[in-house]
Structure 1
């Protein structure tokens, strides 16, 4: 069985961490939240969100500004706690899943 990893290059993480933070977060990792599109989501680390992984697979470090702004608005935890965003429920990768990007 071949094991694949979901490594996100350091440059992409830096881009996400340098964005302005909302004034309040109020979400603990794994808690319910509302996405920028006003749908129900879960506050998860960016590597547990299929949406982020799909965008990164498509654009690498050349993420379009509109997608970067969306990801900035989705932040749900302060940057000193790691990059967490409000991920739509259908895109959350379960912690115990050994899934691949589809």
Structure 2
């Protein structure tokens, strides 16, 4: 019993956090394959922000809202098309 409890605790402490950091696959509102990433790791968002700053058109805002892939408490994560995902080791303008 104690051995089982230790294994469970080990799993919770070591393995679970690493699983939470993975970026799950998802489907964009346009039905394209994507990856759930922080908004600053998505080139599409960076391009739109560079173009419109704080004055994004309502259509873009609705698209971004429909793209959410995590609860708000985890920060703003959205389903980003695979071609627009910025690798974790690259520097983002908004990070």
For the superposition of Structure 1 and Structure 2, which TM-score range results when normalised by the shorter chain?
A: 0.7 to 0.9
* Bigger radius of gyration among the two: 2
Q: Aligned-residue CA RMSD in angstroms?
A: 1.8
- In the alignment, the residues of structure 1 paired with residue 92 and residue 59 of structure 2 have an alpha-carbon distance, to the nearest angstrom, of 27
Aligned length: 74
TM-score (norm 1): 0.68
Picking from 31, 39, 55, the partner of 1:38 is: 31
Unaligned runs of 5+ in 2: 1-20
TM-score (norm 2): 0.73
Which residue does the alignment assign to 1:70? 63
Unaligned runs of 5+ in 1: 1-27
Segments of 4+ moved more than 4 angstroms: none
Secondary structure of residue in 2 paired with 1:63: coil
Asked if structure 2 preserves the Cα contact closer than 8 Å seen for 1:35 and 1:86, the reply is yes
Shift of 1:66: 0.2
More helix as a share of residues: 2
